[in-house]
Structure 1
């Protein structure tokens, strides 16, 4: 079968022929419907080295945002019918520890003994014609479009997890939230905040077209500039933002979050960027929390799919054939992708 393979550190991936996987015990083989191209993939093949992030040694097939149709069942698997559509929960933990028992494979206690992080992150992913995954990691899609659903596995699940944890900060009248960065995760974040809270949603980005899409989803936008922080504070009556979600995770964006968060507010850094921010006692308002989150749980992905089916999350998808997958990654690096690039090997 054809697949997009991460062959070597700091080297652009290749589209090549590989063996079709065989599902092992407890696994299923999916005929891939859609595989989202994520900036994390770019970091893997552009930035990482053998001395850097563990569990990601090449070669392996990229693609950690995946959906597909049941093709074959591995030994011991029952309850699935060929042709049914499913979304894939990417993280794969030991499935024995407390975190995994909660469906929180991202924080697996035995991660050190696992040979990979997720499907598409150390283990072969979905940028291919077929994908083998644990049956436990499948979320049913029913009649929902599996291609447009593919980005939900990360681009929606990741901000959903961060927002859900911050809901106590947004409970009550007069609350506000800020989304920094309006790529695939940021656009989903705006939609999720509008669906789950009554907060005023403020959004900011360098791109005018991205801010226009956020406005269409109900956000108030503030462009980048010298007065960016002041304008955001002005929208909150000067008190600051109750919950900030930084989907970029770069030094300037984290610094902006520190400047605009309210006393006793919360800053969640979701984007995995290069950050070095000085901290002093007065650099962040009193009792303001600053933390990071990573992906989400299986249960939360079920909830995300429910929101998708209800029309509360509508991913903006640009489709590519498998033969066009490398072009999708090139355009992702160039910043010319609108929404989420999804590779469709069989359409």
Structure 2
């Protein structure tokens, strides 16, 4: 079968023929409906090398950690599932027996250092291929929902949902405000989630006017970048500040912006892996303001994301590519030419 393979550090992945996987005990084989292209993939093949990055991500392996598909084959010991049914794949794969994994939080597996891979598409062969083998436990049913458009929800939906859910106490009650910084794929879905599950006024900001227009269509009040950005955001809150800020960029200026507008007892969550830094000072930070980060989410939360998707509360904007055009999808992702999440559909739509 054909697959997009990360085969060497600091180079563009290649489209090549690889062996079709065989599902092992407790696994299923999926006929891939869609696989999302993510900036994390770009970081893996552009930035990592043998001395930088987790050892579990050493090449070669098939890319694609946002995956959905139809069951094509059941591995030994798997029953109760039906060939042909559509599922979204929870990407992280932990040891399965530590405390974090028992909670469905494989992202924080206590034995991650001894695992041979981190996730499907991150060390283990992923879904940028015609077929994908995954543990039965990692399947989340989609029912009649479109699995092609659903594929990005495995990360671009789950990651903001986890961050928002952790911040719900800060948003409980009337007169609350949330701020989304960075309106790429994750930021756009974050606006939709905040609108769907909270009563907060959602403020959104980005350097891209088209991205802000999309956020407005999802119910956000937008503020453009510029010298007056922080003041404008504070004005929208009546001067009190934002109760929960979600930074989907994560560079020095965006973290500084978040901390300049957070309210007393507010919460700032850095979701974007921009490797930014922030210098904390007792006299400059509002009292009891939290600065934290999150990574991906739990499989239980992915079920909840799918519930929102099936109810029409989350509508990912996707651009669909054939497997033949998968490398072009990554090129456009790197060049900033996409208006939605790139999804590779190996078997067509």
Equivalent in the alignment of 1:30:
30
Equivalent in the alignment of 1:231:
232
Aligned-partner Cα distance in 2 for 1:252–1:321: 37
Aligned-partner Cα distance in 2 for 1:203–1:344: 31
Cα contact 1:249–1:270 (8 A) shared by 2: yes
Normalised TM-score (structure 1): 0.99
Equivalent in the alignment of 1:110:
111
Aligned-partner Cα distance in 1 for 2:102–2:48: 31
Within 5 Å, give how 1:271-282 maps onto structure 2.
271-282=272-283
After TM superposition, give the deviation of residue 279 of structure 1 in Å. Answer: 2.1
Equivalent in the alignment of 1:78:
79
Equivalent in the alignment of 2:271:
270
Aligned-partner Cα distance in 2 for 1:180–1:263: 19
Equivalent in the alignment of 1:147:
148
Equivalent in the alignment of 2:19:
19
Unaligned ranges ≥5, structure 2? none
After TM superposition, give the deviation of residue 49 of structure 1 in Å. Answer: 1.4
Cα contact 1:90–1:119 (8 A) shared by 2: yes
Cα contact 1:258–1:283 (8 A) shared by 2: no
SS in structure 2 of the partner of residue 52 of structure 1: coil
SS in structure 1 of the partner of residue 268 of structure 2: strand
Aligned-partner Cα distance in 1 for 2:284–2:102: 39
Unaligned ranges ≥5, structure 1? none
After TM superposition, give the deviation of residue 95 of structure 1 in Å. Answer: 0.6
Equivalent in the alignment of 2:195:
194
Aligned-partner Cα distance in 2 for 1:247–1:120: 22
CA offsets, 1:223-253, max 9 Å, x none?
A: 1101111110111011110000001111111
SS in structure 2 of the partner of residue 229 of structure 1: helix
Equivalent in the alignment of 1:66:
67
Aligned-partner Cα distance in 2 for 1:283–1:331: 41
SS in structure 1 of the partner of residue 288 of structure 2: coil
Aligned-partner Cα distance in 1 for 2:72–2:4: 20
After TM superposition, give the deviation of residue 286 of structure 1 in Å. Answer: 1.3
CA offsets, 1:198-224, max 9 Å, x none?
A: 100000011111000000000000011
Within 5 Å, give how 1:123-272 maps onto structure 2.
123-272=124-273
Q: Relative to structure 1, is the Cα distance of residues 123 and 283 closer, same or farther in structure 2, using a 3 angstrom cutoff?
A: farther
Cα contact 1:70–1:83 (8 A) shared by 2: yes
Equivalent in the alignment of 2:298:
297
SS in structure 1 of the partner of residue 167 of structure 2: helix
CA offsets, 1:74-127, max 9 Å, x none?
A: 111111111110000000000101111110000111111111100000110000
SS in structure 2 of the partner of residue 222 of structure 1: strand
